[in-house]
Amino acid sequence: MLRFLTAGESHGPELTAIVEGLPSRLPIQTTLIDEQLRRRQQGHGRGGRMRIESDRVEITSGLRFGKTLGSPLTMRIRNRDWENWKEKMAIEGDPPENLQPVTKPRPGHADLAGVLKYHHEDVRNVLERSSARNTATLVAVGAVARQLLAPFGIRIFSHVVEIGGVAAREFPRDIEAIPERAEQSSVRCADPEAEARMIEAIDRARREGNTLGGVFEVVALGVPPGLGSYVHPDRRLDGRLAGALMSIQAIKGVEIGIGFEAARLPGSEVHDEIGYDPAIGYTRRTNQAGGIEGGVSNGQPVVVRAAMKPIPTLYKPLKSVDIHTKQSFEASVERSDTCAVPAAAVVGEAMVAWALAVSFREKFGGDSFEELQAQYQSYMELVKRR
């Protein structure tokens, strides 16, 4: 019912995203999309590309007078750096005579796998599309999903819990205070002591020509019970969330709730006991499951963590092999970040929003926003009577 497609190259004219399956009459504000794009470009450890681009979205179809039409929504984000790449990335014609093809695939990138898959002679044909620059489209798509979910009280935020082995330990007791604190941090960390050590670690890695990865957490508040499925494996909410987060460049692992820690504990310390309060319904004292049981949301906050590997483009390059001569060389260096975990957390928010929106549309249907609202309200009234 809800799906998207993205297109575009890192140094091409623009990035494009098409979202299909939105109900008609849903209010969409481009300023809210632009704000998410701005957040993606922030963070201590970002590289020079962020000083070139200042992303803004243009909606070219599917929206009239600020409300969706029910037809596909098309968004584009122009690449300002295209002016410097018109010859090297020309859409038509022959390559310029002075063009130097990239022939040295970088370890850890899609470079070599893409060359082998698509039979390219120039690695640039791969790296332009596989570049994390393309996460701008994911953020735009996620920003639309957020605007679908927000009227139903669903809010999503993220915070960084580890960078380069420096782990956050002390978080605000009030979960509502975590996003406010994270937004004030250049590394999106809600633990001030860990924040300082993370910044030091990033600065040290930059001086050494190295890069750092880390772990971020995404939390969704206000998610109603019943999203997802225990009946159909491909509709499990935890499976969708894991797949959505793993679709982000450099993400190598995902946890729901306490995740891998659950494997180290006895069941009595893992599962969330159920209570009942006549005023509010079913209750939980803990949320070890991260708001999902049996592939279905249970009404608790949805909590997901994702592990990001260090960016593989190093200013002290690793060894590689030229795809033409097969000689050993140091891998080529593209403009790169030292650490992009804070930015990846924003992309993670977008992908969590998208996965929730897919399950939300699946659950409540409706061709118009009013129909969607009516279905949701009817269901929530039913849930309250259980």
Give every CB contact of residue 12 below 8 A, 6+ residues apart in sequence.
79, 82, 85, 89, 128
Report how far Cα 75 is from the mean position of its chain's Cα atoms: 17
Return the H-helix or E-strand segment holding 160. strand 155-163
**Contact assessment for residue 304 and residue 256, using Cβ atoms and an 8 Å cutoff:** yes
30-40 vs 341-364: helix crossing angle, rounded to 10? 140
372: phi then psi, degrees, rounded to nearest 5: -60, -45
Which of 224, 222, 227 lies closest to 239 in space, CA to CA?
Answer: 227
Its pTM stands at: 0.94
pLDDT digits (tens, 9 = 90+) for 288-305: 999 999 999 999 999 999
Write down the pLDDT at residue 386. Answer: 78
pLDDT digits (tens, 9 = 90+) for 123-170: 999 999 999 999 999 999 999 999 999 999 999 999 999 999 999 999
Write down the pLDDT at residue 317. Answer: 74
Write down the pLDDT at residue 357. Answer: 98
- Which three-class secondary structure string do you get for 39-86? HHCCCCCCCCHHHHCCCCEEEEECEECCEECCCCEEEEEECHHHHHCC
Write down the pLDDT at residue 112. Answer: 96
Three-class secondary structure of residue 243 per DSSP: helix
pLDDT digits (tens, 9 = 90+) for 217-237: 999 999 999 999 999 999 999
**Which has the higher per-residue pLDDT, 114 or 312?**
114
Structure tokens, 384: 């309250």
Report d(CA 125, CA 231) in Å as an integer: 42
Report d(CA 378, CA 295) in Å as an integer: 23
Provide, for the chain, the percentages of residues in helix, strand and coil under a 3-state DSSP scheme, each rounded to the nearest 5.
35, 20, 40
pLDDT confidence tier of residue 332, bands split at 50, 70 and 90:
low
Report d(CA 238, CA 283) in Å as an integer: 21
Q: What's the whole-number mean pLDDT along residues 279-286? A: 90
Residue 50 has pLDDT above 60, yes or no: no
**Contact assessment for residue 146 and residue 32, using Cβ atoms and an 8 Å cutoff:** yes
Residue 182 has pLDDT above 80, yes or no: yes
Instruction: Select from 3.40.50.2300, 3.40.50.11540, 3.60.150.10, 3.40.605.10 the CATH code of 3-384.
Output: 3.60.150.10
Write down the pLDDT at residue 197. Answer: 97
Residue 220: what residue type? A
* Domain positions in the chain: 3-384
**Contact assessment for residue 45 and residue 338, using Cβ atoms and an 8 Å cutoff:** yes
Q: What's the whole-number mean pLDDT along residues 82-101? A: 93
Write down the pLDDT at residue 330. Answer: 76
pLDDT confidence tier of residue 52, bands split at 50, 70 and 90:
low
Residue 260 has pLDDT above 90, yes or no: yes
Worst-scoring range by mean pLDDT, 58-72, 164-178, 261-275, 328-342? 328-342
Which of 139, 141, 135, 129 lies closest to 8 in space, CA to CA?
Answer: 129
How many CA atoms are closer than 13 Å to the CA of 355, on its beta-carbon side?
31
Which of 86, 85, 81 lies closest to 54 in space, CA to CA?
Answer: 81
pLDDT confidence tier of residue 53, bands split at 50, 70 and 90:
low
Report d(CA 132, CA 49) in Å as an integer: 11
Residue 287 has pLDDT above 90, yes or no: yes
Residue 43 has pLDDT above 90, yes or no: no
Residue 253 has pLDDT above 80, yes or no: yes
Q: Which residue has the tokens 């898959």?
A: 117
Q: Which residue has the tokens 């243009």?
A: 58
Question: In the predicted model, what is the mean pLDDT of the chain?
Answer: 93
Residues 56-88 as b or e (16 or more Cβ within 10 Å = b) = ebebeebbeeeebebebbbbbbbbebeeebeee
